[in-house]
Amino acid sequence: MKLALNVHIEDEYYDDIKIGVIEITPKMAKQYLSLMDTAKEVKEKTHFFFRLCIFNGDLTYIEDTDAISTEIENDYIELDDSINLNDIIDTYEVRTEGDILNVCEDSIYWDTYLKHTTIRIYTSELSRKYLESIIKKG
């Protein structure tokens, strides 16, 4: 499933990054769900737990929503299969560092920093229910 996720930027003057793009296969969705199960187990054992943070570069941030020819009104949209993510990434990728997958018990999201800055960028969340639907669609 090819997705474009809304991006939130913790800087009032910088807004060049528009979306994060990723293709989530059923296998990846299963891995994310397994991590969510682990997060849930840890939370049940301690009340100090907030989330698992894992270095992960699965998602790419891009600077131009014209590349996908649509506007994201909610947290994310499913992209048409005809869209070539590799071409979009080659043209519009924004350099980032410290890319993290944040795993909560019922959702995941990514965050990062714009390369050589302190500008933090993070995506909207994907729910457990949505990841399960990717697996069902096969």
Please tell me the predicted confidence (pLDDT) of residue 114. Answer: 93
Per-domain residue ranges of the chain: 2-137
Residue 15, pLDDT above cutoff 90: no
Q: Is 112 exposed, middle or buried (0-12, 13-18, 19+ CB in 10 A)?
A: buried
* pLDDT tier, 132 (very low <50, low <70, confident <90, very high otherwise): very high
For 72, the 3-state DSSP assignment is coil
Please tell me the predicted confidence (pLDDT) of residue 67. Answer: 67
- pLDDT for 26-48, tens place per residue? 999 999 999 999 999 998 888 78
Of 129, 122, 137, 116, residue with least CA distance to 36: 129
Q: Is 97 exposed, middle or buried (0-12, 13-18, 19+ CB in 10 A)?
A: exposed
- pLDDT for 73-82, tens place per residue? 788 989 988 8
Residue 69, pLDDT above cutoff 70: no
> Which distant-in-sequence residues (6+ apart) come within 8 Å of 58 by Cβ?
22, 24, 28, 101, 110
- pLDDT for 93-130, tens place per residue? 999 999 999 999 999 999 999 999 999 999 999 999 99
* pTM of structure: 0.90
* pLDDT tier, 70 (very low <50, low <70, confident <90, very high otherwise): low
- Return the number of other C-beta atoms located less than 10 Å from residue 78's C-beta: 11
Highest mean pLDDT among 11-20, 64-73, 126-135: 126-135
